[in-house]
């Protein structure tokens, strides 16, 4: 059965990017000349994808279906999933079984595992970070610190781990960062430039987030009534003072060099969000392997 969360996320642009990433991965590997020399076209294998660690949060299992489909082998392969994306799974659990032509499974093996290991590693790190925020209102956000071409799969993995997606691209949210503010001459001037550039030219203007480095900038940003206010690289004391200045109705986000060990303390201060780049750019790959054995004809 299709995974509902996977199918909801990977539609439209997101699915296009995923398909392009899969096609590129298959193209990078080229033809499997070794397997083609050893196995006959009629030889079939049974492949078991096995977790080699406990406590893994699975992410990306349905990509196996897409890999087989992009190889034009959907009709000759049988895939069975024993876990769903977002599940916690024990060590040595078989999460999927694939039966199909040997040359197909041997070529697909590394592509499937590369996606599964990378995305599950992200989901696992996210789950640990979310657990650190348990009992607070603060939600974990990802960033755009993603591998080129893999932003959509990586952000999907964040959802599987219990996190929340920040903007997918630069157009989804208008964010004033330090270089924008400094160039404009301040937060009020930056907002004036934004209104001049887009007011009346866009049917619906994307929400605005303003990055603040000081308490003075927080006060200026609050006066502009943005959707969200980012507290950038503030120490705990300054962060607490800044949060006290923000009225209800404006979201708050803590960002900048956030260590996972600091999450519980940040959550205790009560921001709406905390964004952590390392959950995508520094997550350790999960450990899965694919065990293959010859399928005996009945």
Residues 16 and 96 in one domain: yes
Residue 222, pLDDT score:
98
Residue 101, pLDDT score:
97
Cβ–Cβ under 8 Å, residues 253 and 141: yes
Residue 1, pLDDT score:
65
1-28 per-position pLDDT tens digit: 678 899 999 999 999 999 999 999 999 9
**Which residue's entry shows tokens 């697909």?**
108
What is residue 291's three-state secondary structure? strand
Number of domain units in the chain: 2
Which residue range(s) make up the domain with 54?
A: 4-130+284-294
Residues 63 and 179 in one domain: no
Give 255's strand partners: 232
Give the confidence band of 255 by pLDDT, cuts at 50, 70, 90.
very high
Residues 104 and 154 in one domain: no
136-189 per-position pLDDT tens digit: 999 999 999 999 999 999 999 999 999 999 999 999 999 999 999 999 999 999
Give the CATH number, domain containing residue 9: 3.90.1170.20
177 assigned to active site: yes
Find the range with the poorest average confidence among 57-71, 189-203, 245-259, 266-280. 189-203
Given the residues 142, 154, 211, 224, select the one marked as catalytic: 211
Give the CATH number, domain containing residue 158: 3.20.20.70
Given the residues 5, 88, 110, 227, select the one marked as catalytic: 110
Mean per-residue pLDDT, 66-86? 96
Residue 220, pLDDT score:
97
Secondary structure string (H, E, C) spanning 175-203 = EECHHHHHHHCCHHHHHHHHHHHHCCCCC
Cβ–Cβ under 8 Å, residues 46 and 82: no
Mean per-residue pLDDT, 247-263? 94
Given the residues 5, 15, 139, 145, select the one marked as catalytic: 145
Give the confidence band of 201 by pLDDT, cuts at 50, 70, 90.
confident
Residues 274 and 142 in one domain: yes
Residues 142 and 86 in one domain: no
Residues 53 and 173 in one domain: no
Mean per-residue pLDDT, 219-235? 96
How is the chain split among helix, strand and coil, in percent rounded to 5? 45, 20, 35
Residue 240, pLDDT score:
97
Residues 139 and 187 in one domain: yes
Give 100's strand partners: 45
Residue 298, pLDDT score:
46
Rounded distance between C-alpha atoms, residue 229 and residue 161, angstroms: 25
The pTM of the full predicted model, rounded to 2 decimals, is: 0.95
Question: What end-to-end distance do the CA atoms of the chain give, in Å?
Answer: 26
196 assigned to active site: no
Nearest 5°: CA angle at 166, between 162 and 172? 145
Scanning the chain, the segments in alpha helix (DSSP H) are 4-9, 12-29, 33-38, 63-70, 102-132, 151-160, 178-184, 187-198, 215-223, 236-245, 263-269, 278-281
Given the residues 177, 213, 227, 278, select the one marked as catalytic: 177
Tell me the Cα Rg of the chain. 23
Given the residues 23, 69, 87, 232, select the one marked as catalytic: 232
211 assigned to active site: yes
Residues 44 and 151 in one domain: no
Residues 74 and 115 in one domain: yes
Separation of CA 115 from chain center: 12
Residue 296, pLDDT score:
59
Residue 54, pLDDT score:
87
Mean per-residue pLDDT, 64-93? 96
């Amino acid at each position: 059965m299709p995974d509902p969360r996977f199918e909801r996320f990977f539609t439209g642009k997101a699915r296009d990017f995923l398909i392009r990433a899969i096609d590129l991965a298959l193209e990078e590997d080229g033809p499997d000349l070794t397997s083609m020399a050893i196995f006959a076209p009629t030889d079939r294998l049974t492949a078991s994808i096995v977790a080699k660690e406990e406590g893994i949060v699975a992410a990306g299992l349905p990509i196996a279906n897409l890999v087989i489909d992009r190889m034009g082998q959907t009709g000759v392969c049988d895939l069975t999933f024993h876990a769903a994306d977002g599940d916690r799974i024990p060590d040595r659990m078989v999460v999927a079984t694939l039966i199909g032509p040997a040359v197909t499974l041997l070529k697909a093996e590394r592509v499937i595992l590369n996606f599964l290991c990378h995305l599950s590693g992200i989901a696992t790190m996210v789950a640990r970070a979310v657990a650190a925020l348990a009992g607070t209102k603060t939600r974990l956000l990802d960033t755009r610190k993603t591998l080129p071409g893999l932003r959509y799969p990586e952000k999907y993995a964040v959802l599987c781990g219990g996190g929340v997606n920040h903007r997918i691209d630069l157009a989804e949210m208008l964010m004033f960062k330090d270089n924008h503010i400094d160039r404009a001459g301040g937060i009020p001037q930056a907002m004036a430039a934004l209104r001049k550039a887009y007011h009346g030219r866009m049917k619906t203007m994307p929400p605005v987030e303003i990055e603040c480095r000081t308490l003075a900038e927080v006060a200026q940003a609050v006066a502009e009534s943005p959707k969200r206010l980012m507290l950038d690289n503030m120490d705990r004391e300054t962060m607490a003072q800044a949060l006290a200045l923000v009225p209800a109705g404006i979201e708050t986000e803590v960002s900048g060099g956030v260590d996972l060990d600091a999450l519980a303390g940040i959550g205790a201060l009560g921001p709406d969000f905390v964004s952590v780049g390392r959950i995508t750019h520094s997550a350790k790959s999960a450990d899965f392997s694919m065990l293959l054995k010859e399928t005996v004809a009945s």
